């Protein structure tokens, strides 16, 4: 039974073990109707496994989940009735043309002929496949196969679309087009569950993001709030020629939250790295110190995931 009508997907303590490996470990979250929900995590975090469980490909080892209020295990058919999936690897029928692939998908969903032709023509056109609609899918590039996967998923007019790393390894043009179409469909009311390890993609597209690392959710929030948490992980690195190092002065520069050093390299954590770099230059001038190295750095994706995982350990999610 769905607890909140605003939620189209509800997941409670969902787990999946492969032998000794727990790929998804007691994961809980909810996706609201009409939202573009991002599921962000590094390689091997458990994203695909979660999608596979939610879409009925894999049997969970524990926990529950509902889609449109239907339990994914006891009401598997109903829970899958209005969803479509674009898996990580395009799995189109290579000996069929885009047109045949799309028609086949629509027929499997018993879509009336007139409607399926109308939808297919519109989608092929908007995804730049109209000219290629009768050539074998085998001859399409990876980008065009992925566009075809999206057409085949959308032709059935799903209410929820699961996209597993839809732009991974694609040419820029295909990636951009896929993002745009997904956003447009979302504005028309489609709920989207997007897995990605591309932080920028997630930030730009999603209204909310869940960060998953090592099979566990470490943060769920809006991109804006997650981003501002991440800002505290930016730093400026500096190395001076000669001694003594002005450690105390650096520590007390405006905006510097903490400092650490490895050998003669000093790292200053700050939310405003550009400003801090300028302050360091002023300090060096006033103390006639020569700067050997100065650069601003953003945290790596790995550092961001670890940061949220560590935060989560300190302050368990409510």
In the complex, the residues that contact ligand ATP under the rule CB under 6 A are 18, 21, 23, 41, 43-49, 88, 197
C-beta of 1 vs 21, nearer to ligand ATP? 21
Nearer to ligand ATP, 41 or 158 (CB): 41
Least distance in Å: CB of 49 to ligand ATP?
3
Closest CA to 158 of 85, 95, 213, 216: 85
Of residues 123 and 202, the one with the C-beta less far from ligand ATP: 202
Pairing type for strands 216-221 and 208-213 reads antiparallel
Closest by CA position to 14, among listed 55, 44, 68: 55
Q: Please, what is the minimum distance in Å from the beta carbon of residue 80 to ligand ATP?
A: 19
What residues contact 172, with CB distance under 8 A and at least 6 apart? none
Give the list of residues 6+ apart from residue 212 with CB closer than 8 angstroms, or none: 27, 39, 40, 41, 45, 46, 47, 50, 218
Counting beta carbons within 10 angstroms of the beta carbon of residue 224, is it exposed (0 to 12), middle (13 to 18) or buried (19 or more)? exposed
**What's the closest the beta carbon of residue 306 comes to ligand ATP, in angstroms?**
15
- Minimal distance, residue 250 CB to ligand ATP, in Å: 38
Question: Which of residues 99 and 307 has its CB atom nearest to ligand ATP in the complex?
Answer: 307
- C-beta of 61 vs 64, nearer to ligand ATP: 61
Residue 310 Cβ, how far from ligand ATP at the closest point, in Å? 19
Q: How far apart are CA 199 and CA 38, in angstroms?
A: 10
Closer CB to ligand ATP, 44 or 69, in the complex: 44
Residue with Cβ nearer ligand ATP (49 or 119): 49
CA distance 216 to 101: 36
Q: Cβ 163 to ligand ATP, closest distance in Å?
A: 12
Give 168's contacts (C-beta < 8 A, 6+ positions apart): 88, 196, 197, 198
Q: Could you tell me the CA-to-CA distances from 59 to 65, 66, 128, 195, 280 in Å, in that order? A: 11, 14, 37, 19, 56
Q: How far is the CB of 48 from ligand ATP (least distance, A)?
A: 3
Q: Please, which residue, 18 or 297, has the CB nearer to ligand ATP? A: 18
Minimum CB separation of residue 264 from ligand ATP in Å reads 38
């Amino acid at each position: 039974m769905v607890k909140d009508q605003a939620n189209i997907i509800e997941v409670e303590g969902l787990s999946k073990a492969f032998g000794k490996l727990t790929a998804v470990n007691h994961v809980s979250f909810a996706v609201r109707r009409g939202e573009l929900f991002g599921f962000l995590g590094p390689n091997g975090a458990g994203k695909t496994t979660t999608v596979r469980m939610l879409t009925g490909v894999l049997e969970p080892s524990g926990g529950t989940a509902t889609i449109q209020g239907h339990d994914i295990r006891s009401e598997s058919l109903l829970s899958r009735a209005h969803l479509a999936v674009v898996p990580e690897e395009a799995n189109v029928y290579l000996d069929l043309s885009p047109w045949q692939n799309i028609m086949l998908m629509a027929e499997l969903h018993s879509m009336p002929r007139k409607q399926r032709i109308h939808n297919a023509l519109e989608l092929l056109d908007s995804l730049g496949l109209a000219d290629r609609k009768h050539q074998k899918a085998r001859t399409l590039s990876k980008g065009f196969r992925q566009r075809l996967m999206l057409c085949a998923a959308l032709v059935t007019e799903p209410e929820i679309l699961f996209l597993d790393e839809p732009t991974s390894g694609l040419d820029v043009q295909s990636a951009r087009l896929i993002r745009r179409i997904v956003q447009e469909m979302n504005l028309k009311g489609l709920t989207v569950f997007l897995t990605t390890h591309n932080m920028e993609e997630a930030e730009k597209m999603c209204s909310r993001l869940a960060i998953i690392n090592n099979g566990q959710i470490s943060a769920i929030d809006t991109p804006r709030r997650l981003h501002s948490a991440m800002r505290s992980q930016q730093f400026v690195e500096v190395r001076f020629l000669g001694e003594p190092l002005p450690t105390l002065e650096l520590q007390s520069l405006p905006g510097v939250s903490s400092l650490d050093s490895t050998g003669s390299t000093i790292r200053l954590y700050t939310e405003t790295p550009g400003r801090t770099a300028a302050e360091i230059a002023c300090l060096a001038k006033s103390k006639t110190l020569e700067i050997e190295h100065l650069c601003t750095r953003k945290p790596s994706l790995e550092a961001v995931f670890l940061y949220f995982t560590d935060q989560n350990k300190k302050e368990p999610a409510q």
